[in-house]
Amino acid sequence: MDRIRIVGGRPLHGIIPISGAKNAALPLMIASLMTSDTLTLENVPHLADVEQLIRILGNHGVDVSVNGRREHQDGSYARTIHFTCRTIADLTAPYELVSKMRASFWVIGPLLAREGQARVSLPGGCAIGTRPVDLFLESLKALGAEMEIDGGYVNARAPKGGLIGARYTFPKVSVGATHVMLMAASLARGTTVIGNAAREPEVVDLANCLNAMGAKITGQGTSTITVEGVSLLSGARHRVMPDRIETGTYAMAVAMTGGDVEIVDTDTTYLETAIEAIRRAGAEITRTERGIRVRRNGELLKPVDVVTDPYPGFPTDLQAQFMGLMTRSSGASHITETIFENRFMHVQELARLGAKITLNGQTARIEGVERLKGAPVMATDLRASVSLVIAGLAAEGETVVSRVYHLDRGFERLEEKLTRCGAIVERVSE
C-alpha cells in the first residue's frame, strides 16, 4: 500500500494548475445513461473515483473511449472521454459496485427516466435517514415512481408512460438528490419544480450539460429549479468545471507554508466564502488572468472562525484543510460542521503532529501552536487525508501519510504539483 512522505518547512513557489472537478465529473458521467447518443466530456480528471464510475457505467452498457492530452508543460493532465450508451444492458446496480462509491447510487434517476425501472443497491453502510438517501427516494416518488426496499436493494418502477412532472420541495438541501431529480425530471412528462434545491456550482454544471443535451432547465444556481420534461435527449460536448475544492486546498497549503504561488485554470467565483476566510487568516490573494495568486511572507496566521454551510457558505469539503491551517494560527479558532456527522476524524491524526484541538459536539476549538512536528499519520477519508498533507508541509521534519488511496480518489497528481513548487513530497510504495 502506498504512502506519502513529506519533509516540511519549505515555502511554496511556482504555478499549480487545477484539474477538472470530481464532484462535477461524476454526475456528468452518469448523465450519459440518459441518451443513446455520445456524450463527450472534456477536462475529466484522472482519479480513482472516476475510474470506478467508468467500471460501474460499463455494467449498465456504457461504452467508453478516452483521449488524453497534455495541456501544460508542468505535467498536469486532462482527458476527453466519450460515453456512449446505445442500450441499457443491465437495470441492476449491484452492491459490490455501489458499496465502493456512494455516487453510483445516482444511476437510479437516469435508469428510471429512460427505462422506467431500476434495481439499485443501497450504498454500503448507509442507514436510511442518517445520510439523506431518503431524500432521493421521496423526490422520485413525487415524480410518480413506486419504491420498494428488499434485501438491501431499492426496486423502483415508473408509472406506465413514464415519470410525471411535479412540485417537490426538499426538506433539507442535498446536492446528490438534486442531481438525481434534475436527471429524472428532464425525461418526465410535464413540468417539475424543485424547491430548496442545492445551489452548488456542480449542480449548475450538470444542468448546463443537460440543457446542451436538449433538456429545458431554468433556475439552476437558485433554490428553485424548473424542469420542462422532454421526450428525448441527444449527445453533447461539455467541459467539466475546474475543481473549486482543489483550488481552495492549494490556496490553504500556500497560506500554511508561506511562499508565492499562482493557481491557474480555475474560477474562484464559486469560492468567495473560503477565499475570504483564507485572506482573514493572513494570506494575500489577488486575481490573475489565469486564476489567483496566493502569497504569505511569513507573518503569523490569524485565528478565524468558520461554519460549514451549503453553497454559497463555507464548503464542508474544505473544513479539514482549514483546520490544518488553523493549527498554526496565533490564537484560538472554531470550526463548526453542520453538513455531515462524524467529519472530525482527522482531529486525532492532526494531534499526532502536535495540534491542540478539542471537540464539543459539532464544533472544534483549535488552539494555534508555535510549531508542528512530523510524525506517521493515517488518512481516514478524502478531505481528511489532504489536511494531513497540508499540516505536514509546515511541520518540522518528516511526516508519512498512510492509506493514501483516499487522496487518489480526489486529487490528481498531488505530489507532482507540490514538488514543482519546491515541496519535498514523494510517494513511497511498500
One fold for 3-18+242-428 and 22-239: yes
Instruction: Give the count of beta carbons closer than 10 Å to the beta carbon of residue 193.
Output: 16
Tell me which residue of 101, 159, 166, 157 sits closest to 139, measured CA to CA.
Answer: 166
Concatenate the DSSP letters of all residues of 219-237 into one string.
-BTBSEEEEE--S----EE
Encode pLDDT of 191-232 as tens digits.
999 999 999 999 999 999 999 999 999 999 999 999 999 999
**Three-state DSSP class for 379?**
coil
Q: How high is the pLDDT of residue 299? A: 81
Q: Which residues are annotated as a binding site for phosphoenolpyruvate?
A: 22-23
Q: Which CA distances in Å does 321 have to 25, 84, 297, 317, 335?
A: 22, 37, 20, 8, 11
**Half-sphere exposure of residue 132: CA atoms within 13 angstroms, side-chain side:** 16
Instruction: Give the count of beta carbons closer than 10 Å to the beta carbon of residue 370.
Output: 8
Helix (H) or strand (E) holding 352: helix 347-352
DSSP code of 128?
Answer: B
* CA–CA separation, 87 and 35 (whole Å): 9
Q: Which residues are annotated as a binding site for UDP-N-acetyl-alpha-D-glucosamine?
A: 102, 131-135, 172-175, 317, 339
Let me know if 85 is a catalytic residue: no
Q: How high is the pLDDT of residue 126? A: 36
The low-confidence residues of the chain, meaning pLDDT below 50, are 70-76, 125-129
Concatenate the DSSP letters of all residues of 151-187 into one string.
TTEEEEEPPTT--B--EEE-SS--HHHHHHHHHHHHT
Q: How high is the pLDDT of residue 101? A: 87
**Three-state DSSP class for 320?**
helix
Concatenate the DSSP letters of all residues of 285-298 into one string.
EEE-SSEEEEEE-S
**Three-state DSSP class for 61?**
coil
**Domain limits, the chain:** 3-18+242-428, 22-239
For 22-239, give the CATH class: alpha beta
To the nearest 10 degrees (0 to 180), the angle between helices 133-142 and 108-115 is 20
Helix (H) or strand (E) holding 428: strand 424-428
Asked if 238 and 40 count as a contact pair (C-beta separation under 8 A), the reply is yes
To the nearest 10 degrees (0 to 180), the angle between helices 244-257 and 319-326 is 10
Q: How high is the pLDDT of residue 77? A: 65
Active-site choice (85, 126, 209, 421): 126
Residue 29 in grid coordinates: 458521467
CB contact set of 168 (below 8 Å; sequence gap of 6+) = 138, 139, 142, 143, 181, 192, 193, 194, 195
Helix boundaries (H) for 358-419: 382-394, 405-408, 414-419
* CA–CA separation, 108 and 124 (whole Å): 16
Encode pLDDT of 304-338 as tens digits.
999 999 999 999 999 999 999 999 999 999 999 99
Amino acid present at 176: G
Q: Which residues are annotated as a binding site?
A: 22-23, 102, 131-135, 172-175, 317, 339
Q: How high is the pLDDT of residue 127? A: 37
Q: How high is the pLDDT of residue 124? A: 58
Average pLDDT, the chain: 93
CATH of domain 3-18+242-428: 3.65.10.10
Asked if 293 and 279 count as a contact pair (C-beta separation under 8 A), the reply is no
